[in-house]
Amino acid sequence: MNNAVVTDKGYVFEQTRSGAPIKAWTQGVPVDESAWNQLRNVARLPFVHKHVAAMPDVHFGIGATVGSVIPTSGAVVPAAVGVDIGCGMMAVRTSLAASDLPDNLGRLRAEIERSVPHGRTLGRGKDRDKGSWEDPPASVVSHWQHLQAGLDAIVSRAPKLRRPANRAILHLGTLGTGNHFIEICLDEDDVVWAMLHSGSRGIGNAIGRYYIELAKDDMRRFFINLPDKDLAYLVEGTEHFREYVDAVSWAQSFAFVNREAMMARVLCALRETVKPFEQTGHAVNCHHNYVERENHFGKNVWVTRKGAVRARKGDLGIIPGSMGARSYIVAGKGNADAFHSCSHGAGRTMSRGAARRTFTLQDHRDATTGVECRKDEGVIDETPGAYKDIDAVMAAQTSLVDVVRTLKQVVCVKG
């Protein structure tokens, strides 16, 4: 970090040489210089409003760092939102106690895996993978009826999206791959929670990639040089900007509904395997990869949260750890300097390739002791050691959120 100073407000401050300042809630948490350089590149964009905020889970991404909050006036950066548009978390508290769960949780995990398509092993036909529906259930079709008209309007303006749009219903209510997961957890009082992590699946990916390329085309067309080609932007008022805002808003709605549809099936699997129960309290359903119009420091701006959760005063959010670590239900404090945001998780300390080279299968099994989950080579890149210490991450953002509940998983289904 160049010219960075620790403040008494809980963040590290850096005045960049040729751009907006950076405020980073990273005290006590390691941050690679590559991530800092990405933050500086973003801060150099001429339309950044006030400063760029970095959360304690910040790490290197594509174009913009994962774990950053980017307020902009007059433009948006599609790659900063990313291709997993609307990715986020959902959690539900049940009336079940730990004592209600069976000693052997293998059957519960198998029932969840049967109920919710996950992964992406190629299946029959070019347009379907194993992690999607062959015949979507009636509940998914019902959800889709509220989404289809919006997608039809998007495709009418962007015909290249027609093929992924035709498959979108097959991905609604499915988990996906990578770090997406479904968990059964216990809180401090041994109350059972269901929690999951997913986004807008294949259609969100297609929308993101399409508009990222359009933004790059615009940069080439107008001879605009950027510190990173993935920071290509769309200017407010242009046709591409209007199309993108509509498309990304729809994808965020798809992601929200996707989590609801999955959660309904997870709760059904829990009832079938354990016993009937009630849902207690309100479900938490929040994005952490998205863009919204908000007012900050007296101005209406576009706020892109790439791996960050909105944490206005009283907002409930979810900050997961890893396959072997605690997760947290939090309430926002409405910190203005952070643009009312907090971290979206622990954040990776190494790439997936590095994790596979670093950790053995025995390392992974030791790190996930007590958790009913996959313990094979296919999930080594998601092993807990590939992530930052969630306790250090939480300690770095005490000025952003209060902890409401602490959860520890006992079952984990990975994409």
pLDDT in tens, 36-90: 999 999 999 999 999 999 999 999 998 899 999 999 999 999 999 999 999 999 9
Residues 6+ apart with CB under 8 A from 340: 294, 296, 310, 311, 312, 313, 315, 332, 334
Long-range contacts of 31-36 (CB under 8 A, 24+ apart): 31/1, 31/58, 31/59, 32/59, 32/60, 33/1, 34/60, 35/59, 35/60, 35/65, 36/1
pTM for the model stands at: 0.95
Question: CB-based contacts of 96: which residues, under 8 Å, 6+ apart?
Answer: 191, 192, 270, 274, 275, 277
- d(CA 60, CA 265) in angstroms, rounded, equals 34
Contacts of 351 (CB under 8 A, 6+ apart): none
**Tokens 């996906």, residue located:** 176
Quickly count: other Cβ atoms within 10 Å of residue 176's Cβ.
26
The pLDDT of residue 1 is: 54
Query: What is the per-residue pLDDT across 345-355, written as a single tens digit (0 to 9) for each?
Result: 999 998 899 99
Q: By three-state DSSP, how is residue 170 classified?
A: helix
User: Could you tell me the strand order of the sheet in which 289-296 lies?
Assistant: 4-6, 12-14, 22-24, 52-59, 66-72, 299-306, 289-296
CA–CA dist 91, 318 (Å, integer): 8
Dump strand ranges (E) for 85-157. Answer: 88-97
Given this model, what pLDDT does residue 324 score? 87
Contact 291, 302 (CB under 8 A): yes
List, in sequence order, every residue forming a beta bridge with 54; answer none if it has no partner: 24, 68
Q: Which domains does the chain have, with CATH numbers?
A: 4-349+387-414 (3.90.1860.10)
pLDDT, one tens digit per residue, over 200-255 is 999 999 999 999 999 999 999 999 999 999 999 999 999 999 999 999 999 999 99
| Residue 248, token pair as written in the block | 């990304």
**135, two tokens:** 């015949």
* Paired tokens of 139: 């509940």
Residues of the chain with pLDDT under 70: 1-2, 120-128
Which pair of tokens denotes residue 186?
């216990």
Q: CA 262, CA 277: separation in Å to the nearest integer?
A: 18
Tell me 215's DSSP state. Answer: H
Own/partner pairs for 148-152, CB < 8 Å, 24+ apart? 150/250, 150/253, 151/203, 151/250
Q: Which amino acids are annotated catalytic?
A: 344
